[in-house]
């Protein structure tokens, strides 16, 4: 007979829990549960279970990655030229611009605060090429776009020739001369606007 009172007690606890759930669901007003005062336990009886309310979930705030540069650090985009087509290399600035020469190094500088940069190519010329022949080839390639080219001996290195000029948009600097027993040509230009 000791088994029946335990079974009766378990059944009473289960029914009480079911009644509490039914009472909470029927107390909904306009689709939201009504808040009820917590039930107090009577002496000798179990207190009904209390359902915990979930706190309202807040959407996480969108934050920029910690390593992202500040917006003002990016160069401004030209609304008239959003793809930067105005910075396309001049037609003469190519690795193949000098016949028989090998392009040893092609590089670009970082953009400055105005978004402008420079580009350079270092060539190794075929054996037997003189500084004058090198300068003649460079002038022939560039003169159509930069008519004011000026050739002069390089004051810092005897035997080298320096060729320079500019357009409204860029400045050109070219050099021909021997370095480490090999004839080399440096061709570079820098954007001015």
HEC readout, 21-39: HHHHHHCCECCECCCCCCC
pTM confidence score: 0.57
Backbone angles phi, psi at 178, to 5 degrees: -85, 140
Long-range pairs, 88-93, Cβ under 8 A, ≥24: 89/119, 90/145, 90/170, 90/189, 91/145, 92/141, 92/142, 92/144, 92/145, 93/119, 93/121, 93/187, 93/189
Mean pLDDT on 26-55: 53
How high is the mean pLDDT of the chain? 75
Mean pLDDT on 55-64: 55
Q: Is the confidence at residue 22, as pLDDT, over 90? A: no
pLDDT, tens only, 170-192: 999 999 999 989 999 999 999 99
* Cα distance between residue 40 and residue 12, in whole Å: 17
Residue 52, CB-side half-sphere exposure with 13 Å CA sphere: 3
Closest alpha carbon to 116 in 172, 166, 191? 191
* Number of Cβ within a 10 Å radius of residue 186: 19
CATH architecture of 82-191: 2-Layer Sandwich (3.30)
The residues near 192 (Cβ < 8 Å, ≥ 6 apart) are 116, 166, 168, 169, 170, 171
Q: Is the confidence at residue 134, as pLDDT, over 70? A: yes
pLDDT of residue 1: 46
pLDDT of residue 67: 58
- Where along the chain do its domains lie? 1-31+44-49, 82-191
Q: Is the confidence at residue 60, as pLDDT, over 70? A: no
Q: Is the confidence at residue 52, as pLDDT, over 70? A: no
- Please tell me which residue, 157 or 165, carries the higher pLDDT value: 165
């Amino acid at each position: 007979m000791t088994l029946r009172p335990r079974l009766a007690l378990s059944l009473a606890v289960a029914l009480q829990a079911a009644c509490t759930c039914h009472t909470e669901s029927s107390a909904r007003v306009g689709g939201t549960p009504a808040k009820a005062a917590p039930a107090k336990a009577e002496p000798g009886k179990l207190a009904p279970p209390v359902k915990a309310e979930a706190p309202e979930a807040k959407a996480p705030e969108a934050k920029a990655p910690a390593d992202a540069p500040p917006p003002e650090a990016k160069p401004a985009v030209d609304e008239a030229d959003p793809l930067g087509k105005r910075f396309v290399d001049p037609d003469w600035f190519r690795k193949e611009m000098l016949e028989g020469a090998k392009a040893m190094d092609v590089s670009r500088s970082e953009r400055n605060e105005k978004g402008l940069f420079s580009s350079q190519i270092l060539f190794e010329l075929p054996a037997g090429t003189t500084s004058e022949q090198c300068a003649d080839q460079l002038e022939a390639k560039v003169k159509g776009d930069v008519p004011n080219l000026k050739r002069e001996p390089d004051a810092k290195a005897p035997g080298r020739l320096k060729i320079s000029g500019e357009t409204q948009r860029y400045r050109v600097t070219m050099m021909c001369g021997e370095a480490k027993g090999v004839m080399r040509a440096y061709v570079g230009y820098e954007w001015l606007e």
